[in-house]
């Protein structure tokens, strides 16, 4: 890589390594990324611990992380984990890196879970399906943050299912509320759940085949997580058309989409006779979430 990395015999403190790692990484976020890498390798979180010396095996690991990052791999894959709401998720290149806008999507779903629970005098937990679960970010967050819920996490990708399972293992007792299965969209759900989901939620692939993406995305994240087809709206349309029979009478479909797709998808939802079709926005005020109640 043309840059001098750290010798494993070096007697060097984490403080020095932090500075040097930031210098090697370069770029706007170099200091912060260096701090995250050092924390990952050392396990230290307190400022005073930065005076301690790194062990050879830790230097070896740090070298490897730096090499991967300098080669262009996204920081989240290099660290092998990423924070999503209350979860510390394991992530690798089999899954999309969970995004901040998806944390907002989950926030809207949680509001709905709350109002659904108070709406009806419930004798059973809410049923939620997270379709295209990837790392499990959406479904596992709902299992973690909603008490009375049963969550089905599904994905077509075997790799994604393995990552969701790994993250489920870190969920503790809340993990008992989650079922995970592989298959294309609704094919992965058990037939006895037809008409029983209070919420179907998905962040499906919604980028068109021709749209250009930053290299860090297109070269590292799975294309099957990103691209939907020539229009970009193919999976969104599929989910709109096929959720109806899986939703309960007052069931809600919640979809993440790109702002430029919002109007056309609202139109499509209305044509399908969904009720109370609404758009919600992300932190930058752009339409990002479509919510629609099952047609009568």
Ligand X SMILES: C[S@@+](CC[C@H](N)C(=O)[O-])C[C@H]1O[C@@H](n2cnc3c(N)ncnc32)[C@H](O)[C@@H]1O
Does 137 bind ligand X (CB under 6 A)? Our answer is: yes
Does 167 bind ligand X (CB under 6 A)? Our answer is: no
Assign 3-state DSSP to the chain and report helix, strand, coil percentages, each to 5: 45, 20, 30
Does 132 bind ligand X (CB under 6 A)? Our answer is: yes
Q: State both tokens at 243.
A: 């959720």
DSSP state of 210: T
Note the Cα 189 to chain centre separation in Å. Answer: 20
Number of residues that bind ligand X (CB under 6 A): 22
Q: Which residues, 6 or more positions from 110, have their beta carbon under 8 angstroms from its beta carbon? A: 142, 145, 146
Q: How far is the CB of 209 from ligand X (least distance, A)?
A: 14
Does 184 bind ligand X (CB under 6 A)? Our answer is: yes
Per-residue binding letters, 18-57, with ligand X (x by CB under 6 A): ----------------------------------------
Strands 275-281 and 287-293, bridge-based pairing: antiparallel
* From 14-22, 31-39, 58-66, 203-211, span contacting ligand X (CB under 6 A): 203-211
* From 37-45, 155-163, 247-255, 279-287, span contacting ligand X (CB under 6 A): 155-163
Compute the C-alpha angle 272/274/279, nearest 5°.
115
Does 251 bind ligand X (CB under 6 A)? Our answer is: no
Q: Which of 58, 127, 135, 233 binds ligand X (CB under 6 A)?
A: 135
Residue matched to tokens 């969970």: 98
* From 69-77, 119-127, 190-198, 202-210, span contacting ligand X (CB under 6 A): 202-210
- As a whole number of Å, the end-to-end CA separation of the chain is 61
Does 134 bind ligand X (CB under 6 A)? Our answer is: yes
Does 205 bind ligand X (CB under 6 A)? Our answer is: yes
Element (H, E) at 42: helix 30-42
Q: How far is the CB of 127 from ligand X (least distance, A)?
A: 18
Q: State both tokens at 288.
A: 């990002």
Q: Which of 21, 42, 102, 287 binds ligand X (CB under 6 A)?
A: 102
Does 232 bind ligand X (CB under 6 A)? Our answer is: no
Does 243 bind ligand X (CB under 6 A)? Our answer is: no
What 3-state DSSP class applies to 21? helix
**DSSP secondary structure of 260-281:** GGHHHHHHHHHHTT-EEEEEEE
- Binding footprint of ligand X on the chain (CB under 6 A): 95-96, 98, 102, 131-135, 137-138, 155-157, 160, 184-185, 203-205, 224-225
């Amino acid at each position: 890589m043309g840059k001098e990395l750290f010798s494993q015999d070096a007697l060097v403190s984490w403080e020095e390594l932090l500075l040097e790692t930031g210098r090697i990484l370069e770029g706007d976020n170099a200091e912060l990324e260096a701090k995250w890498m050092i924390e990952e390798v050392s396990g230290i979180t307190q400022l005073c611990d930065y005076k301690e010396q790194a062990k050879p095996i830790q230097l070896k690991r740090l070298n490897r992380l730096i090499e991967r990052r300098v080669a262009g791999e996204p920081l989240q894959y290099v660290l092998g984990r990423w924070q999503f709401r209350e979860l510390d998720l394991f992530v690798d290149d089999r899954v999309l890196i969970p995004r901040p806008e998806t944390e907002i999507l989950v926030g809207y779903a949680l509001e709905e879970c709350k109002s659904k629970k108070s709406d009806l005098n419930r004798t059973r937990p809410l049923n939620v399906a997270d379709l295209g679960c990837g790392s499990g970010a959406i479904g596992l967050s709902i299992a973690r943050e909603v008490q009375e819920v049963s969550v089905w996490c599904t994905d077509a990708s075997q790799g994604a299912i393995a990552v969701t399972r790994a993250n489920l293992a870190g969920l503790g007792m809340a993990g008992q509320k989650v079922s995970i299965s592989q298959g294309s969209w609704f094919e992965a759900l058990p037939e006895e759940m037809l008409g029983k989901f209070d919420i179907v939620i998905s962040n499906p692939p919604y980028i068109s085949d021709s749209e250009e993406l930053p290299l860090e995305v297109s070269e590292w994240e799975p294309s099957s997580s990103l691209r939907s087809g020539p229009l970009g709206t193919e999976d969104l349309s599929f989910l709109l058309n096929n959720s109806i029979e899986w939703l309960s009478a007052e069931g809600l479909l919640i979809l993440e989409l790109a702002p430029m797709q919002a109007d056309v998808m609202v139109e499509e939802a209305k044509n399908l006779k969904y009720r109370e079709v609404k758009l919600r926005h992300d932190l930058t005020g752009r339409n990002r979430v479509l919510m629609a109640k099952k047609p009568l």
